[in-house]
Chain A
């Protein structure tokens, strides 16, 4: 999962590196081999529930408390156990392992953030924008002569393509790391990684007349100062970058809010809709259309708003503008009509990858209660759609993804950890029931799936990782700088810039980027690399591993980093060369700091995590295994995420490609 700072990074990195390309898009094998154990189909149907962040310890606890009867039933009738996750246990990496049946060396996703060694610029690891080319200038406009596009950077074969090729109908609902949706005959809807209309992981807008506020970007959002005149407020909502303009700027949509002079009520007049809200109320979905090349081209989005204040001040929260599933400007489903059909049958729905607005909570724009309301909308919407998909599922394969446990464990974990720096008993008493409540709802979905199973149906419930507390943050880049591995160009302005902009590359031997990545400044690979490959690089790696594992927290003497892996130790496959040279696996309760993830160098090495983002999983993978529940016996003793794709293929009697490194979990190990 991304952290708020990652979200900010994504937004800023998009602005800096992907903005033009992202908006431009609006304008617009390996041989297979049979392995042992494969036979004719053993099942007719298979349902996999992908529950991001479901923690095995919590499942055991809640089952013991009698909270999750359907999980208990699955445990008794089938099997239950931890599912080994990957290093690093980040969602895009883990879900790519699940999708491709290989480790990251086989699919090329190693972290939320990757970098181009020639420019040293970071970018989203899962998708890449290819800008339109051949622009024809026409006054203040420019007309692209070829359409831009977005490419999915995940490599390797997807198990659903192989199933479809063998005639097994598939529905894959919102699996992460599948934006843009890759070409397939399967019915798919993109999930985590799908941007909002501004191109980031989600940018909220907060309109306020608060005299202490001013218009500015904040992490994952934007505060807009507005003025109330005669009980009328004019608001401008930013949309996608308009690459039809010669001087590319964000498109804008103006809407007007009328306030009652005496009552806490407001009428919002958008070009496409008029709605009325009471103070404290959320709207339904609102369609907003951003003009790009009026009147010919416009980009359609959907958003929800919360009227926070309508009396004695004005406050209006506008959610990130999601891609309109009824008129998608980017490829979010296969077939392309699938998202439209869902709108017709079920109404509008969230299309953004990271739905719960944790950034607005961290920024203090949403109160915990308001955030919880929004989160509840998400899980209720997911449950409705699951019921819908389950009702039309008769044979073949169905994957359905739930995000709620993950993002809410991130922001409500402090309610479960009295030693967390932000823990208060009052907060724990008020919100401590939310995570259990969400587990109950997932259990309800498991119950619905169980009702649809028979002896020819295989049901699996799995998660990509578990959870642990995030109490202390480690500034890896600062440590590297203070130990002589990184040299700054401006030591006096240390910490002022992100994205490694202050690095003096001619005197830098190693640098951190992403949550767990550590790269050597390698000659011949990095643009200004100084470390020679071979023995010099090996020696540097050995030294870094030994010294990093030796880092102790001065507050309590605990080891901060549990392990540091060489890429070649844990990865194999054609994309190994793109991996970080070292993968930093943090100890329990520790994680990379918000600053270091983006290549910044603050002065402190270790500090308390005082953000709402209080739980995490980007630690040593052994600390945060996922969950695997099945209605059949799991015969492999140490099931791993990469085993699921081969298991699914084998269950339908489909040959497992040689590049899939996992094993069939339903067959005894040879």
Chain B
């Protein structure tokens, strides 16, 4: 998983590196465009274009049949059944390219989420750092500490929640940059990155102990070692907001709509049948 994440991180950083400005839209447009090209190509290569055309034609014919004989119930019902069958058959043709695209699409969405789900802290904003300890670690009787880098100010003592075996600190962003906190429990120490900036930058809201899904969904920072009594260090970043004509749009919606629009245009250009 670590190698997959490293490759995906490197690719994501490379693609997004020209778009680290204050405006998140150029990056969104670019990543949607590149994604559309790649997935149209994948679709063209892994789909049976001739079969697809044939099945789309059949669907059209069944639809016309339904329309023409709408006054005859028996024929209409039969046509409806044939239309449904044609639809299933069409979707069957899509299974192969979808299966091929599924894992890259998931990795891509996870990478984009690192850029668009949250935004870095602004200078002056409070930062809540939450540390979840292993169930067998007696947090209340041990010494725990949070040391922050320059540019971050630790404002509070640790707030310990025995029922959750969790400790929290509040920091404040004082200067822009890639800062960090070192969370120390007994002799172990875990470093968590905290980004303060007003640009579009990749952030990681949590660093987790290894586990397939946790590692897959939080690819930016390497997993916490198993020997350390800390399950995860979480930083509550603010959600990034994207606006279209003053209306907030979730990044997933924006990405999917843009990718589909670009995909349809590119598909037409390269004569790809969907």
Kindly report which residue of chain B lies nearest to residue A265, judged by CB atoms: B159
**Do A337 and B246 have beta carbons less than 8 Å apart?**
yes
**Do B163 and A267 have beta carbons less than 8 Å apart?**
no
**Do A340 and B246 have beta carbons less than 8 Å apart?**
yes
Interface 1/0 per residue, B234-268 and A, CB below 8 Å? 00100001010010100000000000000000000
**Do A260 and B126 have beta carbons less than 8 Å apart?**
no
**Do B160 and A276 have beta carbons less than 8 Å apart?**
no
Beyond A261-B140, A265-B156, A265-B157, is A341–B246 a contact (Cβ under 8 Å)? yes
Specify which of B128, B156, B241, B248 is in contact with A274 (CB 8 Å cutoff). B128
Interface membership of B64, Cβ < 8 A: no
Find the residue from B130, B160, B241, B248 having the highest chain A CB count within 10 A. B160
Interface membership of B162, Cβ < 8 A: yes
Kindly report which residue of chain A lies nearest to residue B160, judged by CB atoms: A260
Chain B nearest CB, measured from A93 CB (Å): 35
Specify which of B128, B156, B162 is in contact with A278 (CB 8 Å cutoff). B156
Beyond A230-B163, A261-B162, A265-B159, is A276–B168 a contact (Cβ under 8 Å)? yes
Beyond A261-B140, A340-B246, is A276–B170 a contact (Cβ under 8 Å)? yes
Across-interface contacts of B161 in A (CB, < 8 A): 231, 258, 260, 267
Task: Give the number of chain B interface residues (Cβ < 8 Å).
Answer: 21
Across-interface contacts of B162 in A (CB, < 8 A): 230-231, 261
**Do A276 and B156 have beta carbons less than 8 Å apart?**
yes
List which A257-283 residues lie within 8 A (CB) of chain B.
Answer: 258, 260-261, 263, 265-267, 273-276, 278
Kindly report which residue of chain B lies nearest to residue A347, judged by CB atoms: B122
Across-interface contacts of B168 in A (CB, < 8 A): 267, 276
Please measure, in the bound complex, the distance between the C-alpha atom of A265 and the C-alpha atom of B168, giving whole angstroms: 10
Interface membership of A43, Cβ < 8 A: no
Across-interface contacts of A340 in B (CB, < 8 A): 246
Across-interface contacts of B158 in A (CB, < 8 A): 260, 263
Specify which of B128, B157, B160 is in contact with A261 (CB 8 Å cutoff). B160
Beyond A274-B128, A275-B126, is A266–B159 a contact (Cβ under 8 Å)? yes
Kindly report which residue of chain B lies nearest to residue A230, judged by CB atoms: B163
Chain B nearest CB, measured from A334 CB (Å): 14
Chain B nearest CB, measured from A144 CB (Å): 24
Kindly report which residue of chain A lies nearest to residue B170, judged by CB atoms: A276
Please measure, in the bound complex, the distance between the C-alpha atom of A465 and the C-alpha atom of B191, giving whole angstroms: 60
Chain A nearest CB, measured from B83 CB (Å): 32
Beyond A274-B236, A337-B246, is A284–B160 a contact (Cβ under 8 Å)? no
Across-interface contacts of B169 in A (CB, < 8 A): 276
Task: Give the number of chain A interface residues (Cβ < 8 Å).
Answer: 21
Interface membership of A344, Cβ < 8 A: yes
Please measure, in the bound complex, the distance between the C-alpha atom of A230 and the C-alpha atom of B163, giving whole angstroms: 8
Across-interface contacts of A273 in B (CB, < 8 A): 236
List which A354-394 residues lie within 8 A (CB) of chain B.
Answer: none
Interface membership of A232, Cβ < 8 A: yes
List which B152-210 residues lie within 8 A (CB) of chain A.
Answer: 156-164, 168-170
Kindly report which residue of chain A lies nearest to residue B155, judged by CB atoms: A278
Interface 1/0 per residue, B114-140 and A, CB below 8 Å? 000000000000101010000000001
**Do A260 and B128 have beta carbons less than 8 Å apart?**
no
List which A471-524 residues lie within 8 A (CB) of chain B.
Answer: none
Please measure, in the bound complex, the distance between the C-alpha atom of A197 and the C-alpha atom of B76, giving whole angstroms: 54
Specify which of B128, B163, B164, B246 is in contact with A276 (CB 8 Å cutoff). B128
Find the residue from B159, B162, B170, B236 having the highest chain A CB count within 10 A. B159
**Do A260 and B159 have beta carbons less than 8 Å apart?**
yes
**Do A263 and B163 have beta carbons less than 8 Å apart?**
no
Please measure, in the bound complex, the distance between the C-alpha atom of A257 and the C-alpha atom of B156, giving whole angstroms: 17
Across-interface contacts of B159 in A (CB, < 8 A): 258, 260, 263, 265-267, 276
Across-interface contacts of A231 in B (CB, < 8 A): 161-163
Interface 1/0 per residue, A202-243 and B, CB below 8 Å? 000000000000000000000000000011100000000000
Please measure, in the bound complex, the distance between the C-alpha atom of A344 and the C-alpha atom of B246, giving whole angstroms: 9
Across-interface contacts of A267 in B (CB, < 8 A): 128, 159, 161, 168
Across-interface contacts of B243 in A (CB, < 8 A): 344
Please measure, in the bound complex, the distance between the C-alpha atom of A231 and the C-alpha atom of B162, giving whole angstroms: 8
Chain A nearest CB, measured from B152 CB (Å): 15
Please measure, in the bound complex, the distance between the C-alpha atom of A263 and the C-alpha atom of B170, giving whole angstroms: 14
Please measure, in the bound complex, the distance between the C-alpha atom of A420 and the C-alpha atom of B48, giving whole angstroms: 91
Find the residue from A258, A260, A263, A276 having the highest chain B CB count within 10 A. A276
Please measure, in the bound complex, the distance between the C-alpha atom of A340 and the C-alpha atom of B128, giving whole angstroms: 26
Kindly report which residue of chain B lies nearest to residue A337, judged by CB atoms: B246
List which B38-58 residues lie within 8 A (CB) of chain A.
Answer: none
Please measure, in the bound complex, the distance between the C-alpha atom of A273 and the C-alpha atom of B130, giving whole angstroms: 13
Across-interface contacts of A326 in B (CB, < 8 A): 248
Please measure, in the bound complex, the distance between the C-alpha atom of A141 and the C-alpha atom of B241, giving whole angstroms: 33
Beyond A230-B163, A341-B246, is A275–B157 a contact (Cβ under 8 Å)? no
Kindly report which residue of chain B lies nearest to residue A263, judged by CB atoms: B157
Chain A nearest CB, measured from B116 CB (Å): 17
Across-interface contacts of A261 in B (CB, < 8 A): 140, 160, 162
Across-interface contacts of A232 in B (CB, < 8 A): 163
Across-interface contacts of B246 in A (CB, < 8 A): 337, 340-341
Please measure, in the bound complex, the distance between the C-alpha atom of A230 and the C-alpha atom of B248, giving whole angstroms: 40
Across-interface contacts of A230 in B (CB, < 8 A): 162-163
Across-interface contacts of A263 in B (CB, < 8 A): 157-159
Please measure, in the bound complex, the distance between the C-alpha atom of A265 and the C-alpha atom of B167, giving whole angstroms: 11
Chain B nearest CB, measured from A445 CB (Å): 23
Find the residue from A232, A258, A274 having the highest chain B CB count within 10 A. A258
Across-interface contacts of B170 in A (CB, < 8 A): 276
Chain B nearest CB, measured from A541 CB (Å): 54
Across-interface contacts of B236 in A (CB, < 8 A): 273-274
Please measure, in the bound complex, the distance between the C-alpha atom of A457 and the C-alpha atom of B43, giving whole angstroms: 65
Please measure, in the bound complex, the distance between the C-alpha atom of A258 and the C-alpha atom of B164, giving whole angstroms: 10
Chain A nearest CB, measured from B271 CB (Å): 42
Across-interface contacts of B248 in A (CB, < 8 A): 326
Please measure, in the bound complex, the distance between the C-alpha atom of A230 and the C-alpha atom of B169, giving whole angstroms: 20
Chain B nearest CB, measured from A302 CB (Å): 15
Kindly report which residue of chain A lies nearest to residue B157, judged by CB atoms: A263
Kindly report which residue of chain B lies nearest to residue A278, judged by CB atoms: B156
Chain A nearest CB, measured from B169 CB (Å): 8
Across-interface contacts of B164 in A (CB, < 8 A): 258
Chain A nearest CB, measured from B239 CB (Å): 9
Please measure, in the bound complex, the distance between the C-alpha atom of A284 and the C-alpha atom of B160, giving whole angstroms: 22
Kindly report which residue of chain B lies nearest to residue A272, judged by CB atoms: B239
Please measure, in the bound complex, the distance between the C-alpha atom of A260 and the C-alpha atom of B170, giving whole angstroms: 14
Across-interface contacts of B128 in A (CB, < 8 A): 267, 274-276
Chain B nearest CB, measured from A295 CB (Å): 15
Across-interface contacts of B130 in A (CB, < 8 A): 274
Please measure, in the bound complex, the distance between the C-alpha atom of A278 and the C-alpha atom of B158, giving whole angstroms: 11
Please measure, in the bound complex, the distance between the C-alpha atom of A276 and the C-alpha atom of B248, giving whole angstroms: 27
Chain B nearest CB, measured from A555 CB (Å): 53
Chain A nearest CB, measured from B66 CB (Å): 33
Across-interface contacts of A258 in B (CB, < 8 A): 159, 161, 163-164
Chain B nearest CB, measured from A272 CB (Å): 9
Across-interface contacts of A337 in B (CB, < 8 A): 246
Chain B nearest CB, measured from A338 CB (Å): 9
Chain B nearest CB, measured from A480 CB (Å): 54
Chain B nearest CB, measured from A278 CB (Å): 6
Across-interface contacts of B160 in A (CB, < 8 A): 260-261
Please measure, in the bound complex, the distance between the C-alpha atom of A484 and the C-alpha atom of B246, giving whole angstroms: 61
Please measure, in the bound complex, the distance between the C-alpha atom of A99 and the C-alpha atom of B109, giving whole angstroms: 53
> What are 19 A-to-B residue pairs whose CB atoms are below 8 Å?
A231-B161, A258-B164, A260-B157, A260-B160, A260-B161, A263-B157, A265-B156, A265-B159, A266-B159, A267-B161, A274-B128, A274-B130, A274-B236, A275-B128, A276-B156, A276-B169, A278-B156, A326-B248, A340-B246
Instruction: Report the 8 A-B pairs with minimum CB-CB distance, sorted nearest first.
Output: A265-B159, A337-B246, A276-B170, A258-B161, A260-B159, A263-B157, A267-B168, A276-B128
Q: Hey, which bits of chain B sit against chain A, CB under 8 A?
A: 126, 128, 130, 140, 156-164, 168-170, 236, 241, 243, 246, 248
Q: A260-B157, A276-B159 are in contact. List 11 more A-B contacts (CB 8 A).
A: A230-B163, A258-B159, A265-B157, A266-B159, A274-B128, A276-B128, A276-B156, A278-B156, A284-B126, A337-B246, A344-B243
